[in-house]
Chains A and B, each alone.
Chain A
Amino acid sequence: MQTHQAKRVEITIEAVMETRLTNALIKAGVTGFTVLPVLGGSGRSGQWSREGQVSRAGGMVCVVCIIRPERLDALLDAAFSVVERHIGVVSVVDCEVLRAERF
């Protein structure tokens, strides 16, 4: 099976920033992404859990994008403009996809 090189960017960010991040990604030409709920975790800001959150202020979401390598810089610039001051993690890994024309 023919596969193609791609980049998988995973951005874990506060739920209140989700729309701002996805808007910034769309503005940067990234139209394909998946938003996942996050159950809980621990980091520099302490431990937290989705259980018992009364507002979106305490929740986190994970935005996953798979893009062509040449579009990575534009995506990271857009993402960084949103996440810079906020709690969150941005990671990039190499991956392979089957249908390159979709990314």
Chain B
Amino acid sequence: MDGILALAADNLLSPIILFFALGLLAAFARSDLSIPEAIAKGMSIYLLFSIGFKGGVSVADHGIDQTLLLSLVAGLILSFGLPMIAFGLLRVMTRLDVTDAAAVAGHYGSISIVTFVAATSVIGSAGLGSEGYMVAVAAVMEAPAILSALWLIARFGKSSAEMEEGLMREILLNGSIVLLVGSFLIGWITGAEGMDKIAPLVVAPFQGVLCLFLLDMGLVAGRGLRDARGVLTPGVFLFGVVMPPIGASLGLAAGLVLGLSTGGVVLFMTLCASASYIAVPAAMRVALPEANPSVYLTLSLGVTFPFNLTLGIPLYLAVASAVAGG
């Protein structure tokens, strides 16, 4: 327990968390601090490029084994399955109707790549390595939950949800996935030699850019929370902090069965614990416009994202270290 508290305290005092907290406080205080839209977009492109490339280089260094394929399959299964658990919990814990519950559930089967990036930073600070292909696992976990949400609506709902022509192509080829997977493949192909050539851009600025990006995320999350307090009933809020550890537990089990390193287990737990706030909301607006976006955006971005960033990731790191060693 002391170890977990010490890790949580260390994490809370790290620059990335403190900048996130600064953004939250600035938003709550109605400061006019803002990161220009184009710069925020540029930083997210940089982070995806960097994390994808480093993952590919790591795979090139360590080679691939059957665990890679099994990890991808496990990621797919969990992404399909987690919305079912989330939907059941939401129906028990909240008064959300089937449409809103299914839309929220879809977000909790998908992933937050920023939470994943923050987790890689935390395990790096803890001196742990991880399987480079976890980047690919993150990519495959982005979309299946959307199908699960639409199935939940078809099965339990009265409103219709449409997987219209072109939507799946948009989801699978959204810019984040293309850049992440593309950078991963380029890192894999070029390996350490490629890294030597672009390391000053990929490695050195990473932590600083992540701090600035999380400052922006803090501003966004804070404004979202400030403007959507009405939708955050106690049950809905509780779901936002209960669901991540449940997902993380399944990620822990999967990571241990697969025989991942401690760092890899932490990343798998983080992926299963995080909720999407980019790809899935866009898909839900197209396929399920009747669902209230305030509910799912506030939950995933305003509750679960800060929870994972501040308490979740150190908790997952402590649990994985205790169970898997490291």
Contacts and interface: CB of A to CB of B under 8 A. Distances in A.
Contacts of A55: 277-279, 281-282
Between A47, A52, A86, A87, the greatest number of chain B beta carbons within 10 A of the residue's beta carbon is seen for A52
A24 B294 CA distance: 28
A55 B284 CA distance: 12
A17 B286 contact: yes
Contact of B282 (A20, A45, A50, A57): A57
A86 B285 CA distance: 8
Interface string B262-301: 0000000000000001110110111001100110010001
A85 B279 contact: no
Contacts of B216: 52
Interface residues of A, number: 20
B54 interface: no
Given A14-B285, A16-B286, A47-B227, A54 B294 contact: no
A52 B289 contact: no
Contact of B223 (A45, A52, A87): A52
17 contacts: A45-B293, A47-B227, A49-B223, A50-B37, A52-B220, A53-B220, A54-B40, A54-B220, A54-B278, A54-B301, A55-B281, A55-B282, A57-B281, A57-B282, A57-B284, A57-B293, A57-B297
Q: What are the nearest 5 A-B pairs in CB distance?
A: A57-B281, A55-B278, A57-B282, A52-B220, A85-B289
Interface of A: 14, 16-17, 20, 45-47, 49-58, 85-87
Interface of B: 34, 37, 40, 216-217, 219-220, 223-224, 227, 277-279, 281-282, 284-286, 289-290, 293-294, 297, 301
Given A55-B279, A57-B293, 14 more contacts: A14-B289, A49-B223, A50-B37, A51-B37, A52-B34, A52-B224, A54-B217, A54-B277, A55-B278, A58-B293, A58-B297, A85-B289, A86-B285, A87-B289
